[in-house]
Structure 1
Amino acid sequence: MFGVLKDSDKRFKNLLNGDWVGSESNQFIDIYSPLDQSLLGSVPAMTKNEVDITMATAKRAQKQWKLKTVNERADILYKAADLLLEHIEELAHLLMLEIGKDMKSSRSEVSRTADFIRFTADSGKNVSGESIPGDSFPGFKNNKVSVVKREPLGVVLAISPFNYPVNLAASKIAPALIIGNSVVLKPATQGSLSGLYLARIFQLAGVPLGVLNTVTGKGSEIGDYITTHKDVDFINFTGSTEVGRRISKLTSMVPLLMELGGKDAAIVLEDADLEMTASQIVAGAFSYSGQRCTAVKRIIVMESVADELVQRLEEKIGQLKVGNPLEHESLDVVPLISTKAADFVSELMEDAVEKGAELVTGGHRTGNLIEPTLFDYVTTHMRLAWEEPFGPVVPVIRVKSKEEAIEIANESEYGLQSSVFTQNIEDAFYIADQLEVGTVQVNNKTERGPDHFPFLGVKSSGMGTQGIRYSIESMSRPKATIINLHR
């Protein structure tokens, strides 16, 4: 079923107008597993000319796709969700090999994606317009009616990240398709094999020729070109703040929906249930080695309860499962995605030690596997207080008041999520109202789901609002037809 994706030499192909094709450059990018450095396959390094062909194909196909009924489009999404579950083991195994996620988490990503696609189909069928009488505005008679419906934008460029290459590709593709857009998927290089498998799932589900296409290649050669292409009508990007800023600067008059970096804070007040708080923080900080935008990345705790919290955190960190997914079915901390990523985390830890932070637990590195690490007495003069490690290391910052906690939380350039742990609902709402983030979790770890909730970042953490209904609305626009009654 998936044999069309690659040839006998593990050279993968791209989906273009319903066919799986190589690249005219005959150049490929090798994809190695972060677990054992084995060669998993190679993806085509597409040229600018091939980008032009892909975009033109998507533009033509969209004109017919938008004419399909929403029920027809929804049926295809339902089929894609079913196919994902039918092939969950195969795709989960590829996820494990390509991005180093343990099998349990890989299966969870695939099943969650199926749920996302199915809910998107349901939501798309409930998108409705409105009629607005003209006489509801002062000075107008009852001789005009505006009939408003939602229209697709056209060609959506979906750029997905390495850490959730199936879920965060589907979260762009499904809402775009259900409202009538065509899609060009540009997966992260590490994660592109999983992205191509997902595209094959949608193709098998019945997505018409040219409605979904894929592009792989070197960002240095086609990255800027594809994001500024004249046929792109919308860009949905998940990735680093650095790249997000570049896309924002390069584009003009093209709407953007971006989820970028985060430095999510867990604020712990004196009356917090420390046992529950420690459990939530550890789960939120170290799952998939902290390689998540919504991972808890700093703990801001009241001085009076800091000692006890740190003790409980240390105990729970010691219970985490650490290792290589090739050897264990279920793990919390796995090797980081690359040596570059592990080197950066090591730099942040070294800086913290040099500037006086106290290493509570962890701190050791074997290859790209870094032990779950907790630092206490981290100050605002340390890089770890501000920079996003995207790894299994978390700082504890002690404060004396709610106001100091809010100030430090808001001083970050990021504004994705924060958590507040307290048993006082008034304090929870007071702090939530002051925090400059897209979402505040009360007595829970920072996290993305449920997927129909609004999900957004402010400041350097993104722009626009995701979440199934919100994504559909973002990738469509109102169109008004005004009926004039002459009496």
Structure 2
Amino acid sequence: MFNYIKDENRGFKNLMNGEWIDGISSNLIDVNSPLDNSLLGRVPAMTKEDVDLVMKTAKDAQKKWNSVTISKRAEILYKSAELLLENIDELAEVMMMEIAKDRKSCKSEISRTADFIKFTADTAKNLTGESIPGDSFPGFKNNKISIVKREPIGVVLAISPFNYPINLAASKIAPALMAGNSVVLKPSTQGSLSGLHLARIFQQAGVPSGVLNTITGRSSEIGDYITTHKGINFINFTGSTEVGKRISKITSMVPLLMELGGKDAAIVLEDADLELTANNIIAGAYSYSGQRCTAVKRVLVVDKLADELVKKLKEKIEKITVGNPLEADADVVPLISSKAADFVCELIEDAREKGADLVIGGNREGNLIYPTLFDNVTTDMRLAWEEPFGPVLPIIRVKDMDEAIEIANRSEYGLQSSIFTENIDNAFYVADKLEVGTVQVNNKTERGPDHFPFLGVKSSGMGTQGIRYSIESMSRPKATVINLRER
């Protein structure tokens, strides 16, 4: 079902107004595999003129889509979920080659996305409006009734990242569609092939022409133009804090929903279950090489427990599968680019030079960085504050939970934190004081279940995601006031 989104020269096309087209320019961007640098395909470097056409198409189509019933929209989403599962093997292969994620995790992402889409349809069908009597407010009689329903915002720009190219694109597209919006998907260049395949799934399921469109191209050339385009009514972005702040700065009067960076802390208290704690830290820090905004990115552990925890972590790191996901279901795989690997190595070298104790790892082969653990990391080291997006974890020793809270909150980020303790009073004490969107008690930091609220504070994001929350974010209340004649 995917053959005609690309030509015989491995050049992919973009979806615009129901057709797969080349850009006005003949310029193409190579998409190479992080696994072996092989050419996977070429995507159009779309121009500002292309963007104008896409935006007009999306604007015109949205008006018709808004008149489609909720139940009909839901049917299309159910079909999309079915098609995802029917094509799971092919999609997993594309994703594995494009972002170096192991096959098992790719399939898991696709299955989870299908569930997300179905739950989104179910949730939207069950969202209701309200009627508000006027006499409930002092000074008004009972001759006024406000009928409140939700209206679409218009054209949603969905900008998705490389690390979850199916799930984090669909988590923007599905709620936007159910709210009655049209969508322009701008996937990360590394991840764009997966994004285009996903767009084809929605098209095949029956999304009308122009309601879902795609744009590929260099952010340095068209990024600002897209985000400030007058045809955009809402921006849903997942990516770096740096880019998110720029979008926030240059846009005006456009609602934003953004998931940005994180420096998620695992706080380990004296009474923590060490086996449970170590297992969760390992899974949270090293799965998919730590290339997740919700990865455990630092451990704040009380001194009395630190030696024992470090010993357990080292033992478990020695058993982590490392390598090419084509050969095994590896947890630690090559990073997405040489630039990403270079940055992680900078943090490693800084920690070494400033006296941190390298417990294990620290070596590199190409873009593959072996799982790395540092002990006795101090707050003057970059690794204590900067997000590596790689398989390196700092242990910061603290005297008590108050010091852990203070260090955790000193970060510019505020996505999630974990607290490991058997004392429920301490769990709530710490959770109440942490400046983050979510606190996990006795579990690794993670996204989901997808109907839970998901948000970051400070430099970690803006707005609240989660199925119902996303639908509400990408719609607005509209009130119609009925004025009855007084009798």
Decide: shared fold, TM above 0.5.
yes
Deviates more, 1:311-320 or 1:284-293: 311-320
Aligned mates of 1:401, 1:2 — CA distance in 2 = 56
Aligned mates of 1:226, 1:383 — CA distance in 2 = 33
Aligned mates of 2:227, 2:117 — CA distance in 1 = 25
In structure 1, the residue matched to 2:236 is 236
SS in 2 for 1:281: helix
In structure 1, the residue matched to 2:221 is 221
Contact 2:263 2:415 in 1 (8 A): yes
Q: How does 1:58-207 map to 2 (within 5 A)?
A: 58-207=58-207
If the length of structure 1 is used for normalisation, what is the TM-score?
A: 1.00
Aligned mates of 1:417, 1:349 — CA distance in 2 = 23
Aligned mates of 2:25, 2:83 — CA distance in 1 = 33
Q: Amino acid of the residue matched to residue 375 of structure 2? A: D
Q: Amino acid of the residue matched to residue 382 of structure 1? A: M
Task: Give deviations 1:106-128, integer Å, cap 9, x for gaps.
Answer: 00011110000000000010111
> How far has the Cα of 1:145 moved from its partner?
0.2
In structure 1, the residue matched to 2:353 is 354
In structure 2, the residue matched to 1:379 is 378
SS in 2 for 1:195: helix
Alignment of 1:313 onto 2:313: yes
Task: Give deviations 1:59-106, integer Å, cap 9, x for gaps.
Answer: 000001011110000000000000000000000000000000000000
SS in 2 for 1:445: coil
Q: Amino acid of the residue matched to residue 459 of structure 1? A: K
Q: How does 1:290-369 map to 2 (within 5 A)?
A: 290-328=290-328, 330-369=329-368
If the length of structure 2 is used for normalisation, what is the TM-score?
A: 1.00
Aligned mates of 1:450, 1:190 — CA distance in 2 = 26
SS in 2 for 1:426: helix
In structure 2, the residue matched to 1:53 is 53
Aligned mates of 1:129, 1:245 — CA distance in 2 = 34
Q: Amino acid of the residue matched to residue 190 of structure 2? A: Q
Task: Give deviations 1:348-407, integer Å, cap 9, x for gaps.
Answer: 000000000000011110000000000000000000000000000000000001111000
Task: Give deviations 1:293-336, integer Å, cap 9, x for gaps.
Answer: 000000000000000000000111111111101211x1110000
> How far has the Cα of 1:347 moved from its partner?
0.4
Q: Amino acid of the residue matched to residue 403 of structure 1? A: D
In structure 1, the residue matched to 2:399 is 400
> How far has the Cα of 1:24 moved from its partner?
1.0
Task: Give deviations 1:240-274, integer Å, cap 9, x for gaps.
Answer: 00000000000000000000000000000000001
Task: Give deviations 1:450-481, integer Å, cap 9, x for gaps.
Answer: 00000000000000000000000000000000
SS in 2 for 1:226: helix
Aligned mates of 2:234, 2:57 — CA distance in 1 = 16
SS in 2 for 1:31: strand
SS in 2 for 1:63: helix
Aligned mates of 2:196, 2:296 — CA distance in 1 = 30
Q: Amino acid of the residue matched to residue 21 of structure 1? A: I
Gaps of 5+ in 2: none
In structure 1, the residue matched to 2:19 is 19
Contact 2:24 2:49 in 1 (8 A): no
Contact 2:418 2:439 in 1 (8 A): yes
In structure 1, the residue matched to 2:478 is 479
Aligned mates of 2:239, 2:132 — CA distance in 1 = 40
SS in 2 for 1:151: strand
In structure 1, the residue matched to 2:418 is 419
Aligned mates of 1:362, 1:286 — CA distance in 2 = 12
Aligned mates of 2:393, 2:232 — CA distance in 1 = 39
SS in 1 for 2:350: helix
Aligned mates of 2:286, 2:390 — CA distance in 1 = 8
SS in 2 for 1:119: helix
SS in 1 for 2:7: coil
In structure 2, the residue matched to 1:456 is 455
Aligned mates of 2:330, 2:112 — CA distance in 1 = 18
In structure 2, the residue matched to 1:446 is 445
Deviates more, 1:319-328 or 1:254-263: 319-328
SS in 2 for 1:394: strand
Task: Give deviations 1:154-177, integer Å, cap 9, x for gaps.
Answer: 000000000000000000000000
Question: Identity rate of aligned residues, in percent?
Answer: 76
SS in 2 for 1:145: strand
SS in 2 for 1:257: strand
Aligned mates of 1:135, 1:309 — CA distance in 2 = 62
> How far has the Cα of 1:3 moved from its partner?
1.0
SS in 2 for 1:225: helix
Aligned mates of 2:228, 2:39 — CA distance in 1 = 32
SS in 1 for 2:444: coil
Aligned mates of 2:258, 2:458 — CA distance in 1 = 11
Q: Amino acid of the residue matched to residue 374 of structure 2? A: F
Gaps of 5+ in 1: none
Q: Amino acid of the residue matched to residue 395 of structure 2? A: V
Aligned mates of 1:425, 1:71 — CA distance in 2 = 44
> How far has the Cα of 1:221 moved from its partner?
1.1
In structure 1, the residue matched to 2:42 is 42
SS in 2 for 1:122: helix
SS in 2 for 1:94: helix
SS in 2 for 1:482: strand
> How far has the Cα of 1:58 moved from its partner?
0.3
Runs of 4+ in 1 over 6 A off after TM superposition: none
Contact 2:373 2:393 in 1 (8 A): yes
Task: Give deviations 1:414-444, integer Å, cap 9, x for gaps.
Answer: 0000000000000000000000000000000
Aligned mates of 1:217, 1:280 — CA distance in 2 = 38
Q: Amino acid of the residue matched to residue 299 of structure 2? A: I
